Structure 1
Amino acid sequence: MTNLEARPREQVCEAGAPADAAAPDGAVELVEPREVPLGGPRAMTVRRTLPHRDRSLVGPFCFLDHYGPDDVAAKGGMDVAPHPHTGLQTVTWLFEGSVLHQDALGSVRTIRPGQLNLMTSGRGISHSEEGTPARFPDQRTLHGVQLWTALPEDRRHGDADFEHLSEVPTLDLDGTRVQVFMGTVGTATSPARAYTPAVAAQLDVPPRTELELPVDPAFEHAVLTDAGDLTVAGTRVEPAWLGYLAPGRTTISLRSGEEPVRAVLIGGTPFPEQILMWWNFVGRTHEEVVAARAEWQRVVAALPGGGAAPDDLDGTTAAAVQRFGTVPGYDGGPLPAPDLPNVRLRPRRR
């Protein structure tokens, strides 16, 4: 999914306290979501917890949008024209509905609940996403999460890649169903490729359940509550909120109330590099982001109606198209980048 904000801010993201500064029984840090409308008046509104002014990263995870359940007939669903990414992986996980992914590698995949789409941008890729009544006439609801992970320096300049897992490893922990779509929980390990140590899983907790969820003590973690009354390590995490836990724990205590709980666990070792995020680009410097935007705008200008790239492009435009590619299967042109901010961002230090 793209960040469709009309005026996206540059975000300097860096890890929080290092592992040796965190106590195993430290408090849960609550991250409040902010609502972000994606597009016009009928657009889907997402609840964004990462990046946040108080928490930039959880392991390599630098972006978390939580959306739905949305009435697709009333709001039109998800229709995101081809748009670029750099320096990240997009991690798509659904609770309800279907989304068609098409990208510049030629990947065409419909994702459904229990499946994973994982796109690695490397130095550049473009893709589209559609979850509309026109694409899926029987679809009524769209509901899920979109995550990004930051790529480390030794991978972010590499080639793009795409993986689709039609099923992910699942285990039962004292009645709680755990679907592991990245990393390892207990005895279940996802085959999805990560470039720094990471974990992501859906947790379905029955009513009135107490669970000690096994986790890696080298990881920092966060739990997003989707539905239900959930207490994480003694702290209630409201629906759409994120509860962050510093490294040092071998288990995370979870307790559900009178209704079933659905939640998402994410985590990883604290990301060792400071990153700069703007729109759909993850880089390291302001100049790098400015250059990526300029190249993408060349693609937009060359392909206003979409389709394949013509053969008579000038050298600079051809290089930009080679970097980001095209998505001929989408009916329409690529999405222009927003205007850049008028100021240069200075890093925020903790």
Structure 2
Amino acid sequence: MIEQIISPVTHDLGQFEVRRALPSPGRTMVGPFIFVDQFGPAQLDVGTGMDVRPHPHINLATVTWLFEGAIDHRDSLGSFSTIRPGQVNLMTAGSGIVHSERSPADERNAGPKLYGMQTWLALPDGREEIDPAFEAVTNLPVVEDQCARAIVIMGELWGKRAATTTYADTIYAEIVLAPSGSLPIDANADERALMLVGGEASVDGEPLDLYELTVLTPGQAMTLASGRGARVMLLGGEAFSTRRYAWWNFVSSSRDRIEQAKEDWTEGRFPKVPGDEEEWIPIPERPNTVSAP
């Protein structure tokens, strides 16, 4: 029923916490997901905000999903998007992209709220170096009854498919259960995991611990249920047969490609972010994100 439970590493960023479940020493990926961060809920001080300066990515796609708050996204393609709840931002790095994420001015004036998910998808073999791209999708399918509501963010679940681009078979959904609510978890994906991000829930009677990534046994249909109400993320998809490495903001099947990206960023070979060109994040000596050797 439950294959593995991963306790996230918590990073305290002052006014809010980020909990990183993947990559972890015991597991690098669940389906194409190679990086899973959960942040908030948090209420920041008036006049402050989140400021993630421009930084690079290669060979992956980032997926940003918010429960509360807003984030301004800018990237080196010239894309600009204000992410809000109900909208998924998919940024495909491919051969290389640079982006920044900052709290909008109106959020700063009111005291920003931050509560959501940041995940990365490894790109499959033969597609790691595709052209960079960006999309923001709002017309996402909803599955609901009186006690359960699920938004299909990526892939196909409960007979409905999201319009969001997928490069490998991917499932991703936000599930909100009212008290006494339940929802079936299909067995179709190679790999699946649940993360309880609010409230109380169980899968086939086994309680989920808050913010832990619970990897489900493949091939078994299960039921997610809550007695008092819950918010749960479901993620997973196609199992990769080729290993992926992660170092800082870079993911690749090739260690040499990551070394090249590190050199390219240090030497200023990545493109700039229009409208956010003055700042950047330098290469760290010891990054927080590193896959196991």
TM-score by length of 1: 0.78
Q: Does 1:289 align with 2:258?
A: yes
| One-letter code aligned to 1:151 | L
Measured after TM superposition, the shift of residue 286 of structure 1 is 2.9
Distance in structure 2 (CA, Å) of the matches to 1:240 and 1:75: 29
Distance in structure 1 (CA, Å) of the matches to 2:60 and 2:223: 31
Kindly indicate whether the alpha-carbon contact (under 8 Å) linking 1:152 and 1:195 is maintained by their aligned counterparts in 2.
yes
Kindly indicate whether the alpha-carbon contact (under 8 Å) linking 1:73 and 1:133 is maintained by their aligned counterparts in 2.
no
The answer to which of 132-141 and 238-247 deviates more is 132-141
Q: Which residue of 2 aligns with 1:163?
A: 135
Measured after TM superposition, the shift of residue 109 of structure 1 is 0.3
Kindly indicate whether the alpha-carbon contact (under 8 Å) linking 2:2 and 2:214 is maintained by their aligned counterparts in 1.
no
Kindly indicate whether the alpha-carbon contact (under 8 Å) linking 1:79 and 1:129 is maintained by their aligned counterparts in 2.
yes
Kindly indicate whether the alpha-carbon contact (under 8 Å) linking 2:48 and 2:108 is maintained by their aligned counterparts in 1.
no
| One-letter code aligned to 2:17 | T
Do the aligned partners of residues 218 and 129 (structure 1) sit closer, same or farther apart at CA in structure 2, a change above 3 Å counting? closer
* Matched pairs, number: 291
Deviations 1:134-189 (A, max 9, x none): 76423531100000000012111111000101231111156310101100111221
Trace 1:103-182 onto structure 2 (pairs within 5 A). 103-131=75-103, 136-173=108-145, 175-182=147-154
Kindly indicate whether the alpha-carbon contact (under 8 Å) linking 1:43 and 1:76 is maintained by their aligned counterparts in 2.
no
Equivalent position SS for 2:240 = coil
The answer to which of 123-132 and 101-110 deviates more is 123-132
The answer to which of 147-156 and 171-180 deviates more is 171-180
Q: Which residue of 2 aligns with 1:8?
A: none
Trace 1:27-46 onto structure 2 (pairs within 5 A). 27-38=2-13, 42=14, 44-46=16-18
Question: Runs of 5+ in structure 2 lacking a partner?
Answer: none
Q: Does 1:194 align with 2:140?
A: no
Q: Which residue of 1 aligns with 2:284?
A: 338
Distance in structure 2 (CA, Å) of the matches to 1:98 and 1:218: 31
Q: Which runs of 4+ in 1 moved over 4 A?
A: 132-136
Kindly indicate whether the alpha-carbon contact (under 8 Å) linking 1:232 and 1:243 is maintained by their aligned counterparts in 2.
no
Distance in structure 2 (CA, Å) of the matches to 1:163 and 1:247: 31
Equivalent position SS for 1:137 = helix
Q: Does 1:325 align with 2:271?
A: yes
Distance in structure 2 (CA, Å) of the matches to 1:134 and 1:37: 25
| One-letter code aligned to 1:99 | I
Do the aligned partners of residues 174 and 243 (structure 1) sit closer, same or farther apart at CA in structure 2, a change above 3 Å counting? farther
Identity of matched residues, %: 37
Residue 252 of structure 1, aligned match among 205, 222, 229: 222
The answer to which of 89-98 and 217-226 deviates more is 217-226
Distance in structure 1 (CA, Å) of the matches to 2:36 and 2:189: 21
Deviations 1:37-74 (A, max 9, x none): 45xxx364201111112221110000011000112217
Measured after TM superposition, the shift of residue 290 of structure 1 is 1.6
Trace 1:68-79 onto structure 2 (pairs within 5 A). 68-73=40-45, 76-79=48-51
Distance in structure 2 (CA, Å) of the matches to 1:52 and 1:346: 7
Equivalent position SS for 1:73 = coil
TM-score by length of 2: 0.92
* Bigger CA radius of gyration: 1
Kindly indicate whether the alpha-carbon contact (under 8 Å) linking 1:44 and 1:77 is maintained by their aligned counterparts in 2.
no
Deviations 1:267-326 (A, max 9, x none): 102122101100000012333212111100112xxxxxxxxxxxxxxxxxxxx2xxx321
Bigger strand share: 2
Trace 1:200-349 onto structure 2 (pairs within 5 A). 200-213=172-185, 215-249=186-220, 251-258=221-228, 260-299=229-268, 320=269, 324-330=270-276, 332-339=278-285, 347=293
Distance in structure 1 (CA, Å) of the matches to 2:105 and 2:114: 11
Do the aligned partners of residues 87 and 266 (structure 1) sit closer, same or farther apart at CA in structure 2, a change above 3 Å counting? same
Question: Runs of 5+ in structure 1 lacking a partner?
Answer: 1-25, 300-319
Measured after TM superposition, the shift of residue 132 of structure 1 is 5.6
